[in-house]
Every structure is written in C-alpha cells, then in structure tokens.
Amino acid sequence: MGIITRRHALGLLAGALPAAQIELPPGIEPDNGSFKGTRESLREYEIPEWFRDAKFGIWAHWGPQSAVEAGDWYARNMYMQGSPQYDYHCQTYGHPSKFGFKDTIPRWKAERFEPAELMRLYKKAGAKYFMSMGVHHDNFDLWSSKHNRWNAAAMGPKKDIVGMWRKAAMDEGLKFGVSEHLWITYKWFSTSHGHDKTGPQAGIPYDGADPKNFDFYVDSDEVHTKLDWNESGIPEWWKRHWYLRIKDLVDNYQPDLLYTDGALPFEEYGLNLIAHLYNANARRNGGKTQAVYTSKREQDSEKGIAVLDVERGLVNTIWPRPWQTDTCIGNWHYKRGQQYKSAKTVIDLLVDIVSRNGNLMLNFPLPASGELDVQEMNVLSGITQWMGVNSEAIYATRPWKIFGESPATAAPAATQSASFNERNRKDLTADDVRFTTKGGTLYAFVMGWPEYQAVIRPLALNTELRVGKIQNVELLGFDGKLQFTQDDAALKVLVPAQKPGGDYAFVFKVTGALSA
C-alpha cells in the first residue's frame, strides 16, 4: 500500500475524494428557499423580535479542553514549547510527542453533568436563550457527528452534549444556540505538527505529525505558531469540510442561533450555510425566519445577513441594529483557581450593553465534571437576585435618545476597536446613569447607591433631549412613595434609607419623561 497523505486522510473523514481528485471549487447544492447564498439576497434578512427582546443569554463554552482545567487554548498551546501550558503538560502527562491532546480526551468524563438542573438555574438567573459550544478550534465535535469520529458521543463523556443541552433549553422554554469555532482550526491546530526547537527532545515530532492521527490534528502546509485570523492559505478541501460539518450540526439540532468565532467564513460556503439556516428555520416557523447568525465583522451586519458580535467588549454608542457582546466570567475554558468577574461587574456590563441596543451572552466555564464550582454559583446567585427585582427594565426594552451619562466615559473611538475593551472598564458608580425604554416608560439605572439623592442630569427640563414633565418616579424593589423634583438642572430623587436589595444598578421607573 502506498503512503496515505494527510489530505487523503481528512478527505476520507469528510466523505470526500482525496484532495488531488477533487474538482475545485466543489459545488454546493443551493437551498430551495427564499434566501440564496449571496450577500444581495441575505441583505433582506431581518433580526427577529425574540432576539431584540431577550437581552441576556448564557453560554457553556465547554469541551475536551476543559478536561485538564488549565484554561484557554490548551490544545494549541501545549504544543508550543515554553508556554505555561506546554510546561504543565510535560510535567503532568509527559512530552507531547508521546502523550498528545488526543490522550487527554478520556479525562473529560462529565460525570456530574446535569443539564436540566443547570438550565433551571440559568433560567432563574434571567437567561432567555442558551448556547452550547458545538465545536471549538480543537476539532472535536460535541454532537453525534457523521463527518468526524472525534466526537463527544463516541469518546470522552460518550454523551451527545449538544443534544442534551438542546433538550434542557427547550424544556425550559429557552431559545437554543450553538457556537462553531472550526473554520480557523486548519491554522490553529497546526502547532501539533511541530516539535521542540531546543532541549533533549529537539526535533522529535509531536503526535500531530503521526499519519495515523491526521484525521484529528488536521493537515496544514505550515506550522502557524503566530496565528493570523484570515483565510489566506486555507485550502478549498478544508472549506468544504467545514461546510459539511456545520451543516450537519444545523440540520440535526435546528439552532435558533448560530455563532461563528470570527467573521463569516469562506464567502460562498458561509453564505450558503447561512441561507440554509434561515430557510430551514423559516420552514419550521410558517415561512418567517426566526433564526440568528452572528459575525464579528461589521460589514456582515450593517444591513441584513447577520448580527454583530463583539467579543469581551461593547460598542461606543447606541448601535443602529441589535448586536451582542460575548464574554466570560473567567477564562473561556475552565481554569482552576481562576478569579471570576463579580456579579456587580456582570450587571454593569449587562445594563451598559442593553442601553446601547445590545444583548449579553455570558459564559460560565464548566469544569471537567460538568458541575459549576462554588464561586461560579455565587456569581450566578448575585445575578439571579438582581434580575428578580429589576428585569422589567431589561427585557423587551429599547434604547432611549442617549445610552446614558458618565462623569468621564472611556469609550472606544470606533467599533472596530470595541472587541476586548472590557479590560479597560472600571466599576460604575452612582455618578453613572444608563437608560432603557418600554412603551411610555423610561427606566433610569443609577449604577451605584447615592448617599442622599439620585441626581439624573439628562432628565432635566429644557434640554436638547426634550424631556417631558415627569409625573411619577418609582424605585424597583421599593414599595414606598418617592419624593422628587425636576428642574432645568436635573431630576433629583430622594432615596430611602435602605437599599431595595442588592448593592448595584438601582432602577428608577420614570413616567412622563417620554411625553414631550
């Protein structure tokens, strides 16, 4: 028998011919629906109202890289000599030429995974939609995949993780989403084909270079130790393989939301996949598309096509179309000893995002067992308590004329730099105010507890905002009557002696301000 090539191995995995025999570009059968796989057609897409109303979702960014509990990008970084995860792997398991990432998968057992119980907790905390990771850059499918034998139903926990999450979400009446991170795997996982540059193991190939492992570690013409997030150098056969894998995920689990970790990939492949997602969803919903697709590239979301997603950050103003922040209370993948965001930090983000016409998708990283740790439960409990009092000012709201006021707003200059800007944020205080509206009601969030009175300057009379004469002010969670005055300087509200539950983001329900 001749030597099997890497491309041949992956081609067999995809149910395709060897790369040398594929007539490129391979054809894609167009979906028989109203949307076609072109930007012109998909610009007619409209974001469904459920997404605009939901405001808050929870994500389980959980997979085989959680088995080691050593944080993000373990499957890549363990093959990069000198990285902390490489050092940890060598000390714990041995050199990656002998014990690779594939060998850590049996340690992901999910022995305490109770999706129904977790979903009840997430719903109680206010989530209106839930997202399961479908496949990360590590090339491991979390569903019973027909195009990839490396999947959670066949190994590791030996459970259809996506299917279990979907059932739990639907049982609780939540919309269901899946995330795919697969498109960049061709480059991301290429470090597994490398070797140490120095030391006693120098030049010895890692296990990704072994031909018998090519169906997992993916062929790549070079080792991308410096990762660029563009499609240059990614071959056609991988694009088709990506399309087949994600189409299988969409067809079998019918997500309400599909998230791509990056821009819409591989133009004609990506556009046809989105058209298929939208058309299949419309056929289940009386001809009207209720599905959402997210992209991190603004050009994909300016009109139709997709919803803009901003990773670990937020836009600098009220965005004209609904958008989403995705972030995490800690690392994306579980890391022992990780310090998490506080419930206050999460609520500050949620309110700030919703005031700018956005949604928050928040990841709680599960450990290998599938059970939230004590610190995560504390964060979740804080969110639950706050939402129990104040959620009416979040759900089904729309932005006001301005998102709010801060003494010194450190916003990004443009949305191109919005991703990852949350690291520059400081806790909001009583001097920070944010707004949402619902019908004839204006909600004013004072982001900390005022010592004596809340001073809300944008609600002054005779300003360019054309605020109406305020008739009544209520404080959510407080049953008593509030004293207030409105003049040309501000709306001033005397606050009660005791805080109405919680320590942050107090909501004043204002009647009359929108009548002007």
Using the predicted structure, report yes or no on whether residue 419 has a pLDDT greater than 50.
yes
pLDDT tens-digit map of 66-77: 999 999 999 999
Three-state SS string over 395-424 comes to CCCECCCCCEECCCCCCCCCHHHCCCHHHH
119-136, pLDDT tens digit by residue? Answer: 999 999 999 999 999 999
Q: What is the DSSP letter of 4?
A: P
pLDDT digits (tens, 9 = 90+) for 307-340: 999 999 999 999 999 999 999 999 999 999 999 9
Q: Tell me if the domain spanning 6-311 has CATH number 3.20.20.80.
A: yes
Across the chain, mean pLDDT equals: 92
> What 3 state SS string does 314-355 have?
CCCCCCCCCEEEEEECCCCCCECCCCCCCHHHHHHHHHHHHH
For residue 301, give Cα distances in angstroms to 272, 294, 347, 448.
16, 8, 26, 34
Confidence of residue 26 (pLDDT cuts 50, 70, 90): low
Residue with tokens 């028998």: 1
Whether 64 contacts 334, CB under 8 Å: no
pLDDT above 90 for 41: yes
Burial class (CB in 10 A: 0-12, 13-18, 19+), 274: buried
Query: Do 157 and 147 touch, CB atoms closer than 8 A?
Result: no
Q: How far apart are CA 134 and CA 179, in angstroms?
A: 5
What is the distance between the alpha carbons of residues 115 and 63, in angstroms, rounded to a whole number? 14
Any alpha helices (H) in 105-213, and if so which ranges?
Answer: 115-124, 161-171, 185-188
Residue 486 has pLDDT above 90, yes or no: yes
Q: Tens digits of per-residue pLDDT, 420-476?
A: 788 778 889 999 999 999 999 999 999 999 999 999 999 999 889 999 999 999 999
CATH number for the domain formed by residue range(s) 404-515: 2.60.40.1180
Residue reference for tokens 């019908």: 439
| Predicted confidence (pLDDT) at residue 21 exceeds the cutoff of 80 | no
Strand, helix or coil for residue 251? helix
Asked if residues 179 and 131 have their Cβ atoms less than 8 Å apart, the reply is yes
- Spans of all domains in the chain: 6-311, 404-515
Mean pLDDT on 291-301: 96
Per-residue pLDDT of 244-260, as tens digits, reads 999 999 999 999 999 99
pLDDT confidence of 8, banded at 50, 70, 90?
Answer: very low
Contact status, residue 189 vs residue 75, Cβ threshold 8 Å: yes
